[in-house]
């Protein structure tokens, strides 16, 4: 088994859009903060890299799930801040439902019992 698979990179890759949408539910933010929050919020290290994040953000923006707006903070470099749209909230709900079904199926096959805590 490769180190990439062991640290969750393969699983993260396909689920990054849902994670980004989930972070943006709390309010608009810029890419670096999204990556940082995903990396810090996980109970195990996901190691989301910005090189992975920005293509996902651009795709979400292209599909109308997020909207980006440039900010020019005083004394700082301009940065694009992303916010979730109503279409993005619906997409997150769809992805969350699919993830729950998938996880339940895998857990059943593997014999995994989740704690109620």
Least confident of 15-24, 31-40, 76-85, 89-98: 31-40
**How many separate domains does the chain show?**
1
- Higher-confidence position of 79 and 47: 79
**How many CB atoms sit inside 10 A of residue 107's CB?**
12
CA Rg value for the chain: 16
Q: For residue 50, tell me if it sits in a domain.
A: yes
pTM for the complete prediction?
0.82
Q: What is the pLDDT of residue 1?
A: 43
Q: Which domain holds residue 49?
A: 3-110
Q: For residue 15, tell me if it sits in a domain.
A: yes
Question: Per residue in 26-68, pLDDT tens?
Answer: 999 999 999 889 888 876 667 787 788 999 999 999 999 999 9
At 86, which CATH number? 1.10.10.10
Q: For residue 59, tell me if it sits in a domain.
A: yes
Q: What is the mean pLDDT of residues 90-111?
A: 94
Q: Is the dihedral of CA 106, 18, 56, 6 positive or negative?
A: negative
Q: For residue 116, tell me if it sits in a domain.
A: no
Q: For residue 14, tell me if it sits in a domain.
A: yes
Give Cα separations from 33 to 30, 40, 43, 113 (angstroms). 6, 10, 18, 33
Give the C-alpha separation, 69 to 88, whole Å: 16
């Amino acid at each position: 088994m490769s180190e990439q698979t062991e640290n969750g990179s393969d699983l993260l890759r396909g689920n990054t859009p849902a994670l980004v949408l989930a972070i943006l539910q709390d309010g608009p933010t810029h890419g670096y903060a999204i990556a940082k929050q995903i990396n810090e919020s996980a109970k195990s290290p996901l190691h989301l890299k910005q090189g992975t994040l920005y293509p996902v953000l651009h795709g979400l923006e292209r599909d109308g799930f997020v909207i980006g707006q440039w900010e020019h903070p005083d004394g700082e470099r301009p940065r694009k801040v992303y916010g979730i749209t109503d279409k993005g909230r619906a997409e997150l709900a769809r992805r969350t439902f699919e993830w729950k079904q998938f996880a339940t199926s895998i857990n059943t096959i593997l014999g995994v019992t989740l704690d109620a805590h």
